[in-house]
């Protein structure tokens, strides 16, 4: 008698996915699309439910069913929602304070950003990264500049002017000693701030929301990678979800379906630092899918993050990596920026991912206009249409591998 094995996926999205209204239901729907494209006279449906895998922590469970007289569950996907945990200590800060933290982060990263322009360390787009950090700095400055704008708005107030005069007389200061106190200095600051803020508002849709989201998630991701903040909490919750699945599903084999920063969390779990793998991880983790993983970006700008990793589990699982050669954040696990088989994996691990190149559009040569308008960053969002769960997507490769391995059979 064959032992029934239920195949279970854990979906871990990237940063900013809540802003784009991405969800495990959409991911499941895209996977169903690929199943229907590749089978004749077969129909599939999805069913969702909410479960609590620990106190105050919830996730969505999506079952994929084969439509027949007695519908059969052929695959399940659990969502792992880490965004709230990652940002919970930072999200309550005021916009001005968030922008200040973002500005400080950009300034502290300047040395390594400049260094990587000359010493690439396998990462192939350091110039684009330097440019992006410059944009982050401008966005942060535009918000921080609200302070001098406020001062300018008060300069016509008699009480405020009298306060400035008293301050100058008290310390025997001339207007040129502190330029921002002079009327001329205030006007120059106001003009500069107005230009920068206007450009941000005109060029970037929903600028206020974007600044808040950007500052929160980018700073919190940096704190996770650089200082390990919220790392134990996130990895502990992921361990608890794996534990819940192992106890509540029939002899499950677990697959991680990950996108962007979500893949870093999964790699952090499968190749842990310090602690050994749990029995549940060793007994049930079977596969890892990384889509647009910023592995090389993090290895280049956070060189200590992947050091001294346990590789036992990572050596035996199936690892599928989907990337775009144009995507500035994705990793092809090669020493060049070419399409081909992976040349390395995690540290000393002998397991190299199975590479699949996915391009939604023809690959463009490097053009100045593409550089300025961040084409290589925007490509990071083209592995599927974020506005809809319909249409083709990079999950065609996930289906291809899963069908070959019979992961949808339930046996």
Distance CA 120, CA 126 (A): 7
Q: How far apart are CA 256 and CA 13, in angstroms?
A: 11
For strand 57-66 and strand 72-79, is the pairing parallel, antiparallel, or unpaired? antiparallel
Q: What is the dihedral of CA 377, 382, 383, 387, to 10 degrees?
A: 130
**pTM here?**
0.85
User: What does the buried/exposed string (b/e) look like for 24-55 if buried means 16 or more CB atoms within 10 Å of the residue's CB?
Assistant: bbbbbbbbbbbbeeeeeeeebebeeeeeebee
Q: Distance (Å, rounded) from C-alpha 180 to C-alpha 190? A: 10
pLDDT at 411: 43
Digit-by-digit pLDDT tens for the chain (411 residues) are: 445 578 999 999 998 755 567 899 999 999 999 999 998 878 999 999 999 999 889 999 999 999 888 888 999 999 999 998 998 888 777 777 877 888 888 889 889 888 888 887 767 778 878 877 877 777 777 666 666 555 555 555 555 555 555 545 555 545 444 544 555 665 565 566 666 666 666 665 555 565 566 677 788 999 999 999 999 999 999 999 999 999 999 889 999 999 999 999 999 999 998 778 899 999 999 999 999 999 999 999 998 999 889 998 989 999 999 999 989 889 999 988 889 999 999 987 889 999 999 998 877 666 777 777 777 878 888 899 877 778 889 999 999 999 999 998 644
User: Given the DSSP bridges, would you call strands 253-259 and 285-291 parallel, antiparallel or unpaired?
Assistant: parallel
In angstroms, the Cα distances linking 101 to 92, 106, 326 are 13, 9, 30
Strands (DSSP E) found in 57-142: 57-66, 72-79
List, in sequence order, every residue forming a beta bridge with 285; answer none if it has no partner.
254
Which DSSP helix (H) or strand (E) runs through 52? strand 44-54
Nearest to 217 by CA among 23, 16, 17: 16
Q: How far is CA 336 from CA 69, 339, 359, in A?
A: 51, 9, 17
Given this model, what pLDDT does residue 53 score? 95
Residues 6+ apart with CB under 8 A from 157: none
Q: Check residue 176 and give its pLDDT.
A: 47
- Polymer length in residues for the chain: 411
The residues near 71 (Cβ < 8 Å, ≥ 6 apart) are 45, 65
Query: Tell me, what's the pLDDT at 340?
Result: 94
Q: d(Cα 153, Cα 164) in Å, to the nearest integer?
A: 14
What is the pLDDT, as a whole number, of residue 2? 45
- Other beta carbons less than 10 A from residue 137's beta carbon: 17
CA 183 to chain centre: 44
> What confidence score (pLDDT) does residue 1 get?
40
DSSP-assigned beta bridge partners for residue 8: 76, 254
Residue 234 to residue 82: CA distance in whole angstroms: 6
Instruction: Determine the pLDDT at residue 257.
Output: 98
CA distances from residue 172 to 151, 163, 180, 195, 294 in whole angstroms, order as listed: 21, 14, 16, 33, 55
CA pair distance 108, 102, nearest whole angstrom: 10
Looking only at Cα atoms, what is the longest distance across the chain?
Answer: 94
Give ∠ CA 253-16-113 in degrees, rounded to 5: 105
Q: What is the pLDDT of residues 274-310, one digit of tens each?
A: 778 899 999 999 999 999 999 999 999 998 999 889 9
What is the distance, to the nearest Å, from the Cα of residue 389 to the centroid of all Cα atoms in its chain?
Answer: 19
For residue 41, the model assigns a pLDDT of: 79
Give the separation between CA 226 and CA 106, rounded to whole angstroms: 14
Q: What are phi and psi of 128, to 5 degrees?
A: -65, -40
């Amino acid at each position: 008698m064959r032992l029934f094995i239920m195949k279970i996926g854990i979906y871990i999205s990237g940063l900013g996915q809540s802003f784009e209204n991405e969800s495990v239901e959409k991911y499941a729907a895209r996977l169903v699309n690929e199943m229907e494209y590749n089978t004749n006279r077969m129909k599939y449906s999805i069913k969702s439910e909410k479960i609590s895998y620990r106190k105050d922590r919830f996730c969505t469970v999506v079952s994929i069913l084969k439509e027949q007289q007695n519908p059969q569950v052929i695959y399940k996907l659990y969502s792992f929602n880490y965004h709230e945990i990652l940002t919970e200590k930072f999200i309550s800060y005021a916009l001005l304070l968030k922008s200040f933290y973002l500005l400080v982060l950009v300034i502290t990263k300047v040395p390594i950003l400049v260094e990587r322009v000359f010493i690439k360390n396998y990462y192939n787009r350091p110039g684009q990264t330097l440019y992006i950090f410059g944009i982050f700095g401008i966005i942060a400055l535009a918000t921080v500049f609200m302070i001098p704008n406020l001062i300018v708005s008060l300069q016509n107030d008699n009480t405020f002017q009298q306060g400035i005069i008293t301050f100058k007389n008290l310390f025997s200061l001339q207007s040129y000693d502190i330029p921002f106190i002079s009327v001329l200095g205030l006007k120059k600051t106001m003009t500069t701030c107005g230009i920068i803020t206007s450009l941000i508002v005109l060029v970037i849709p929903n600028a206020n929301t974007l600044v808040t989201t950007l500052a929160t998630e980018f700073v919190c991701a940096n704190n996770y990678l650089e200082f390990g903040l919220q790392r134990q909490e996130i990895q502990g919750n992921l361990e608890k979800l794996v534990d819940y699945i192992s106890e509540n599903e029939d002899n499950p084999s677990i697959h991680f379906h990950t996108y962007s920063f979500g893949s870093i969390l999964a790699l952090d779990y499968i190749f842990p630092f310090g602690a050994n793998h749990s029995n549940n991880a060793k007994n049930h983790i079977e596969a890892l899918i990384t889509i647009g993983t910023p592995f090389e970006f993090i290895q280049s700008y956070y060189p200590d993050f992947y050091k001294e990793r346990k590789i036992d589990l990572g050596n035996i699982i199936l690892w599928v990596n989907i990337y775009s050669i144009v995507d500035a954040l994705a990793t092809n696990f090669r020493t060049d920026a070419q399409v081909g088989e992976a040349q390395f994996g995690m540290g000393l691990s002998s397991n190299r991912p199975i590479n699949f190149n996915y391009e939604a559009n023809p690959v463009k040569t490097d053009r100045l206009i593409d550089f300025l308008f961040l084409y290589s960053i925007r490509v990071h969002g083209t592995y599927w249409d974020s506005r809809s769960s319909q249409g083709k997507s990079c999950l065609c490769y996930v289906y291809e591998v899963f069908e070959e391995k019979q992961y949808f059979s339930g046996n």
